[in-house]
Amino acid sequence: MLILGIESSCDETAAAVVKDGREVLSNVINTQIALHKKFGGVVPEVASRRHIETIDAVIDEALEEANVTFDDIDAIAVTYGPGLVGALLVGVSTAKALAFALNKPLVPVHHIKGHIMANFVAHKDLEPPFVCLVASGGHSHIVSVEDYTYLEIMGRTRDDAAGEAFDKIARVLGLGYPGGPLIDKLAKEGNPKAVDFPRVRMDKNSLDFSFSGVKTAVINYLHKLEQNGEEYNKADIAASFQDAVTDVLCEHTIEAAEQKNSKIIALAGGVASNSALREKMTKLAGEKDIKVVYPEPILCTDNAVMIACAGYYGYLEKNFADMTLNAIPSLSL
């Protein structure tokens, strides 16, 4: 079965063709990073306009790369939330038009579920149940993946997402955008124990996250030094901030796995590309005989492979949408 996946929830216009939910025939991503870099972050209206300009060409390229035509496609899968409403609408409208014109089933996909599904593509032998940490610029969730379509949320951020905090601290340090990879790179040159930034625990019975506190602590620390005319090592700040965030992500996720008696932890989302998180989670979970898996970096960022994979399992459950499908920017999991 061939699924055409379409993703446009933020600043990547993506299309992919995936066979039977696991085999990638094509993966085309048109990124807008260079476009938004001068603004220091994603500008929603600019993102929407670029999606409109590129989505047709991206889909054509995905079909060409897969060496298939629309006639070969069995269903269209599309992200319909959460995300930027204007950006989502471009993908949803395109997918609806294709499904209607081609008389193909339309499968709506939740963006966070898509990120989780990237692990099934990356690890062909992976099967539910397992615990997954989904961490990106817009989301920080701990999810128990009970089966291919049923997910239980065990923890989530109550304020800033982990990736959002990375971007904001990178901006304060003058590193640029996107902040996650830049902090990851700079932190390798610093001392993660140079500054003891806070690790927030909401309460002992909660697996929820809060990253606004550590973000504010870093900003206040830097402002105090600057006001006093004191110099500081950016690499040490980056490493110490990253250490605080990854400590919390690992602690909560491993605790969730223990609660579920899960022997597998999966990582997903843009922050799953962070080298410190991967190394720390693998080490700490390994001490408890828990295996850690994660996709290659190209499948951690927003992409349509993960949407096509989720669409495949949605198709098997006959989870189809009609032409009333709309973008839902605050869609809950």
> 0.85 cut: is pTM over it?
yes
Among 50-54, 103-107, 137-141, 181-185, the minimum mean pLDDT is found in 137-141
Specify whether domain 128-296 bears CATH 3.30.365.10: no
Would the CATH topology of 2-115+300-316 be identical to that of 128-296? yes
Residues 6+ apart with CB under 8 A from 255: 207
- Report the SS3 class of residue 222: helix
The per-residue pLDDT for 65 is 98
For the stretch 75-128, pLDDT in tens is 999 999 999 999 999 999 999 999 999 999 999 999 999 999 999 999 999 999
In this prediction, residue 34 has a pLDDT band, given cuts at 50, 70 and 90, of: confident
For the stretch 299-326, pLDDT in tens is 999 999 999 999 999 999 999 999 999 9
The per-residue pLDDT for 213 is 94
Q: Is the pLDDT of residue 212 over 90?
A: yes
The per-residue pLDDT for 37 is 81
Report phi then psi at 41, rounded to 5: 170, 175
Give the DSSP letter string of 293-331: E---GGGTSS-SHHHHHHHHHHHHTT--B-TT----TT-
For the stretch 246-299, pLDDT in tens is 999 999 999 999 999 999 999 999 999 999 999 999 999 999 999 999 999 999
Q: Based on the number of CB atoms within 10 Å of its own CB, is 220 exposed (0-12), middle (13-18) or buried (19 or more)?
A: exposed
User: Average per-residue pLDDT in the chain?
Assistant: 95
Specify whether domain 2-115+300-316 bears CATH 3.30.565.10: no
Among 2-6, 87-91, 136-140, the minimum mean pLDDT is found in 136-140
Domain ranges (residues) in the chain: 2-115+300-316, 128-296
Q: Is the pLDDT of residue 48 over 90?
A: yes
For the stretch 126-137, pLDDT in tens is 999 999 999 988
